[in-house]
Chains A and B, each alone.
Chain A
């Protein structure tokens, strides 16, 4: 794991004291809300439906056991005993008091964490593959590059007031587990014919009201030009992005309106100019970062089998563990989607326990997945049963990774002031319906994603099945989308037709899955069947 050097720590500590002073001035009346609002947002503090909400950055989703435990302690000490893990691999607290906020930031700083750049029109937290450093299919660990980008983008003066927010994802395998092409910039670490590592740049993806899949603009940027090329991409955006219209201000609109070729041409021109200025950090900096992400001391010669006849355990192993690059290990996924539960929520005790388990079973590391689950990346197969028993005893062993019960849902109208409709109750009803009717297993991999409004924080465009909450004359209404994907075969879902009320949408989802069960061919997932047979049979079953 990366560890702060004295500069990182100083930057974060200084910011805490600055915010402490700003908060004091707000509370004493020296600062008006108008002046204070942008300052609190720069520190991740929003005002939401019920209270202030704090969003804490988890760089590329990686946490140490101690950091995870600190997040649990904060939930207890300053919130109402729980936290919400988000699709951006971060955590949000829903019940924060303004007077406590500086103290929380100070607690975070003690474990090398902060809430900087989790709001506003800047480069936000960099996301990555949650199996980084463990995945059997990666060509290299993407996190050192994500860390380099984090350092470059932290307090970058030129990019603190972009036309709109900016999100970057970095992956290093052909399998995309980070929705890379739905980011403003998606970077895939690749190897060229000469065997050198470089970066493929996809620019101009995003969800929200105008979803777009990022096109490839450069298939190989050498490693020692990563920052310069990123800077060039941002500069062209900063210059031409639509500051006149908030809804057209994301880079996806620029790339779309300007055209990928013209955008790329301008980036190349800027790149040439920037190269001459020598802004790239020396490779020595990358060399300084890399050892922090070196493999832990994997044991060799350990058992490479998972022995147990217990059916519950076997089901969990089958669904929630993932192939690891080191023999004798797996990555284990802790599902935060118990049937009928709130996707992504975990209690303070559960958060602390997951921190302890990371320390005990996974070389002191865990990860937040964009699907709102937690990964223990490196677990010995021989110790899985013992881990499973602890998880099961604490309500953390739902065996449902990538199934229809593993639903992504944004906070929706239960918490979010921008929402049109609630998302969580819909997720709860769907997971209960499918756990009850026993179809979960037959449906196999099925990614269902729900957003409470067009902003798409719940990735509904990218769900095999997506649900979008809309406001129909003051009443909650839900549109159904089919055919989205955020994996390497990224696609955007299409709306089936008129929307439904809360119970209606649950029925509609079941009808859609029944079409799949009836029409599927061997080996097809829901998404494959949809792609083969198209929308019509689904429409017929749902509205017919």
Chain B
């Protein structure tokens, strides 16, 4: 599937297009198919997001998995600071990115 990601203009937070708006959780992302450019352009113009781009992803038992490690690290947070990731209670969360 193709999913759309970017950063929140004001806060810089990593966000994912969930069909209606932007979520911080990659599992909320929806398949944008061929609509990526159109949504990105519209949302950037509305200042909801900056630097939006589409990526490949798959779904597995854990949910949505971006194809590239870089986007998995974006989805989670820095693996060397588990406390600052989206899963601070799970010290093993970093293994998901590999």
Within 8 A of B (CB), among A411-466: 413-415, 417, 419, 422, 424-425, 428
- B67 CB, min distance to chain A CBs, angstroms: 7
- What are some 23 contacts across the A-B interface (CB < 8 A)? A27-B47, A33-B44, A33-B51, A47-B7, A47-B12, A47-B50, A49-B70, A49-B74, A50-B74, A51-B11, A52-B12, A95-B12, A95-B84, A99-B11, A342-B80, A413-B70, A413-B73, A414-B81, A419-B70, A422-B79, A424-B80, A474-B67, A474-B69
Please name the 10 residue pairs, one residue from A and one from B, whose CB atoms are nearest each other, closest first: A51-B12, A414-B78, A52-B12, A424-B80, A97-B11, A99-B10, A414-B80, A49-B74, A33-B50, A98-B10
Chain B residues near A95 (CB-CB < 8 A): 12, 84
Quote the shortest CB–CB distance from A480 to chain B (angstroms): 20
**Is A351 on the interface with B (CB-CB < 8 A)?**
no
Given contacts A96-B12, A414-B79, A424-B80, contact A49 B67 (CB under 8 A): no
| A29 adjacent to chain B (CB < 8 Å) | yes
In the docked arrangement, what's the CA distance between A441 and B12, Å?
Answer: 44
CA A52 – CA B9 in complex, angstroms?
9
Q: Give B39-59 as 1s and 0s: 1 = Cβ < 8 Å from A's Cβ atoms.
A: 000001001001100000000
CB neighbours (8 Å) of B79 from chain A are 414, 422, 425
A414/B47 contact (C-beta < 8 A), A50-B14, A342-B80, A425-B80 known? no
Return the contact of B47 from the options A29, A49, A80, A342 (Cβ within 8 A): A29
Q: A33-B50, A98-B12, A413-B73 are in contact. Are A51 and B7 (CB under 8 A)?
A: yes
Q: How many residues of B contact A (CB 8 A)?
A: 24
User: Which residues on B sit within 8 Å (CB–CB) of A419?
Assistant: 70
B87 at the interface (CB under 8 A from A): no
For A342, give the chain B residue with the smallest CB separation.
B80
Question: How many Å lie between the Cα of A27 and that of B12 in the bound state?
Answer: 12
Q: Are B68 and A428 in contact (CB under 8 A)?
A: no
**Which of A80, A99, A424, A476 is in CB contact (< 8 Å) with B69?**
A476
Q: How far is the CA of A342 from the CA of B79 in the complex (A)?
A: 11
**Looking at A49, A50, A425, which has the most chain B CB atoms within 10 Å of its CB?**
A50
Closest to A471 in B: B69
Residues of the B chain whose Cβ atoms lie less than 8 Å from the Cβ of A424: 80
Residue B28 CB within 8 A of the other chain = no
User: Contact check: which of A47, A414, A476 meets B51 at CB < 8 Å?
Assistant: A47
C-alpha spacing A392/B79, complex, angstroms: 27
Q: Give chain B nearest CB distance to A349 CB in angstroms.
A: 15
Question: Which residues from chain B contact A428 at a C-beta distance below 8 Å?
Answer: 80
Instruction: For residue A341, give the distance in angstroms from its CB to the closest CB of chain B.
Output: 9
How far apart are the CA atoms of A342 and B80 in the complex, in Å? Answer: 8
Contacts of B9 in A (CB 8 A): 26-27, 98
A82-105 vs B, Cβ < 8 Å mask (1 yes, 0 no): 000000000000111111000000
Given the known A-B contacts A47-B7, A50-B12, A97-B12, are A415 and B78 also in contact in the complex, defined by CB atoms under 8 Å? yes
The yes or no answer to B13 lying at the interface (CB within 8 A) is yes
B74's closest neighbor in chain A, by CB?
A49
Q: Which of chain B's residues have a CB closer than 8 A to the CB of A422?
A: 73, 79-80
**A51-B50 in contact (CB<8A):** no
Residues on A with C-beta less than 8 A from B44 are 33
The proximity string for A residues 17-52 relative to B, scoring 1 for CB distances below 8 Å and 0 otherwise, is: 000000000110100010000000000000101111
What residues on A are CB-neighbors of B70 within 8 Å?
Answer: 49, 413, 417, 419
Cβ-closest chain A residue relative to B68: A474
